[in-house]
Amino acid sequence: MTRQCLAYLEPGCSPRCHLTRFFVRLILLVLLLSGCGGLAGSGGQKAAGTRLKVLHLNDSHSHLQAGELMLQRGDTATSCRVGGMARVGQFLRQQTAAAEVPVLRLHAGDAVQGTLYASQFAGTADAEVLNAIGFDALTLGNHEFDGGDAWLAAFLDRLQMPVLSANLQVPADHVLAGRYAPSVVRDIAGSRVGIVGLTIADKTLASSQPGPQVRLIDELTALRTAVAQLQAAGVGRIIVLSHCGYDRMQSLAAQVPAIDLIVDGDSHSLLGDFSAWGLASAGPYPTRGRNADGDLVCIVQAWEYGKVVGEVDLLFNGDRLQACTGHSHLLLAPDEPAATLPAPARQAAGARLTPMAEAPDLARLIAGYQARLGQQLALQVGEAAQELPHRRLPAAADARLALGSRIAPLVAQAYWQQLPQADVALVNAGAVRGGLMAGPIRYEDLYTLLPFSATLVTFELSGAQLRQVLEDAVDHSLTGGSTGAFPYVYGMRFSVDASQPAGQRLGPIALQPRGAAAFEPLKAEGRYCLVTNSYLAAGRDGYRLLGQLRHQGGAQDSGHEATEAFVRWVRQCSAAGRKVEPLPAGEQGLVGWRAAPLAQGCRTRAEMPPR
C-alpha cells in the first residue's frame, strides 16, 4: 500500500505537495489500522466493524445463588461472597449498556446440574434465569445430557436463545431434532460473524445419559466441517463456542483454519493472574495462539459456578483478527472488604476483582425459587434401616464405631456410583457433619449431613501415589492436623496401625478396579481412577499430593455436586425398595484399626473425641 501511495502523483501538484499529501495519508492509514480513531458508536459504522466485545460464562451448573470463596491477601484469608446469577446478569447488562462497540453474550455450556435448583425444578429455574439475562447463544455441555434426551428436549424448549453443537448428530425423528443447530450467523455492524458450537464427545458418552441414538462425532472433524461451511457461505469471522476443555481447545485451535476466538468451558479453568489473592490460574487471559492459517486465535474461559465473567475485546483487520485483550472479572458482593480496595489493588494481568450489585429483578426471581426449595427440603427421599452414626476416627470402646463412621463409607459409595469411570472413591471424615437416625430421611437431613458446597473431582493415580495420599491423610489426622482428614473409601480396603511411624501406618491395600470380579493387591505401578470432593482435590486437610496434581492439570472436575450425588444415591435406594443401611463387611473400606498406645495415662490424639 505504501508503494502505491509513493507512485501516485496528481497532475499540477508540486513535489512538496506530494510529500505533504503522502504523510497525511500515511497518518490516516496508521490511525485506521490501529483503531485510534475512537471506539465505534452510533456515528462510526466502519470502526464498529473492526471491533467486537464478547462477554462469556461457562459451567454455571445451576449455581443461581451467590457462593463463598476464600481469598488470600498476604497473610490474611477472608471468605467473600462471590458470583450468583443475579450478579452475573447485572454485570452483563452494565457492560453491554456502556459498550461503544457491538457485544455478544455467550454461554459455553454446563448451565445445569449441580444444585437443587436443577434437580428439583427440572431445568425450569435455570432456563428462566438464562432467558432473563439474555444470551446470544449457548453450547451444549456434557451435563446438559445428564437427565436423558427427553429432559434435555424440554429444557431446550424453554430457552430463548440459539443452542449449538456441531458434533451432535441425531435421527430426523429424534426428540432433540430441530432443537439445536451446528452454528449460527450474526450480522454485526456490516460484518457476518459465525458462532460454532462444540460438545466434548468422549466424556458426554461415558459419564452423562445421552440415549442410544445420540452420536457425538470427533470434535476436530466436526469443527473443520462447520468452519468450511461457514466460509463457503461467505462468513469470515468465526467464533468457536466449545465445551471441550482449555488444554484440548489449545490443541484443536492449531489444527483448524479461519477461527478467530474460542470461548470454552468444561475444564473449569481460571485464566488471568489471580495469584495476589491466593488463586491459581491455568493460563493467561486471553490465551493467544495460532490457527492452522498461522493467524492469531484467542482462547478464553470463565472458571466456574458464576464466580467469574470473561470480557474479551477483539480488533479485526478485515476478517483477520489483529488483537485481543480482556479480563476475567471475579464478581464480588460490593460490601465485601476486598471490594472496597482501591482499583489498582484489585487489578492484575488479565484479572479483576469487580464489585457488583445484584440485578433486582433477577434477585427476586431466584428468591422465589429459593422459597420453593424450602418446601422441598421437608420432603422424604428415603429411609434408614438403622441408625448410621458418624465418628471421625474409630473408637475401640464402641463396637458400632470400632471401624469408624458408618455413614461416611456410604457417601464414598455414592461418589463411586455417580462417576462410572472411577475405580475407587474417597471422602474425608470432616466432610460428613453427623449421622442419620433410623427412619425417614428428608432432603434437609442430607443437606445437614453434607452441608458444604463441593463437586466431584477425578484423578488418575499410580498405586504408589494412591498409597501416599492415604498415608498423608492418616498422618494428618493423627499428628497435629485435623481429625477431619481421616479417609473413608469405597472400592478398596486397608487397615491402619496408629502406633507406627508416620508414612508406615497403612497395612497392605487391596483394590477392586471397576468391572473386576474381586479385590486384588494394589500395584505400585498400576493406574487407578480416584473420585473425591473438590475440597480435598485442592490439597486441603493434608491431601497435599492431590493439590499438587491438580495444580499441574492432573484433575478433572466433573461438575457433579457432591451432596446431590448422595441425594441421588438415597433416592435410587428408595426407588429400588431398599432402605439405607451400613456397607456389608465385604465392601467395608477400613478393615482394621489399632490405636496408638497411651502415654502416661493421657489419651493420644487418635483416642480423643473429634473437634
Residue 466 contacts residue 522 (beta carbons within 8 Å) = yes
How many residues are given for the chain?
611
Listed in order, the ranges of the chain carrying CATH 3.60.21.10 are: 52-372
Cell digits for 35? 483503531
- The pLDDT score that the predictor gives to residue 575 is 95
Cell digits for 404? 469408624
Cis peptide before 286 (omega within 30 of 0): yes
For residues 443 and 86, which has the higher predicted lDDT (pLDDT)?
A: 86
Q: How many CA atoms lie within 13 A of 167 on its CB side?
A: 24
Distance CA 193, CA 214 (A): 29
Of 29-33, 241-245, 433-437, which range is least confident? Answer: 29-33
Instruction: Report the relative pairing of strands 320-332 and 308-317 from DSSP bridges.
Output: antiparallel
pLDDT band at residue 118 under the 50/70/90 scheme: confident
Which listed CATH number (3.60.21.10, 3.10.310.30, 3.40.1360.10, 3.30.40.10) goes with 52-372?
A: 3.60.21.10
Distance CA 393, CA 430 (A): 10
- The pLDDT score that the predictor gives to residue 13 is 41
Predicted confidence (pLDDT) at residue 150 exceeds the cutoff of 70? yes
In this prediction, residues 120-139 reach a mean pLDDT of 96
Predicted confidence (pLDDT) at residue 134 exceeds the cutoff of 70? yes
pLDDT band at residue 19 under the 50/70/90 scheme: very low
For residues 470 and 203, which has the higher predicted lDDT (pLDDT)?
A: 470
Distance CA 66, CA 103 (A): 25
* Alpha helices (H) along 293-442: 360-376, 408-418
Listed in order, the ranges of the chain carrying CATH 3.90.780.10 are: 380-607
The dotted CATH code for 380-607 is 3.90.780.10
pLDDT digits 0-9 by tens, 49-92? 589 999 999 999 999 999 888 898 888 888 899 999 999 999 99
Q: State whether residue 244 is helix, strand or coil.
A: coil
Residue 589 contacts residue 412 (beta carbons within 8 Å) = yes
The residue whose grid cell reads 469408624 is 404
Residue 87 contacts residue 345 (beta carbons within 8 Å) = no
Distance CA 210, CA 219 (A): 17
Highest mean pLDDT (candidates 115-129, 252-266, 419-433)? 252-266
Q: How many CA atoms lie within 13 A of 66 on its CB side?
A: 22
- Where is 567: in which H helix or E strand? helix 562-575
pLDDT band at residue 553 under the 50/70/90 scheme: confident
Distance CA 348, CA 473 (A): 35
- The pLDDT score that the predictor gives to residue 267 is 87
User: Residue 186 forms beta bridges with which residues?
Assistant: 193
Whether this prediction's pTM lies above 0.85 is answered by no
Predicted confidence (pLDDT) at residue 599 exceeds the cutoff of 60? no
Predicted confidence (pLDDT) at residue 606 exceeds the cutoff of 70? no
* DSSP character string of 178-189: TS-BSEEEEEET
The backbone torsions φ and ψ at residue 441, rounded to the nearest 5 degrees and listed phi first, read -115, 125
C-alpha separations of 146 from 107, 127, 203, 543 in Å: 18, 16, 11, 30
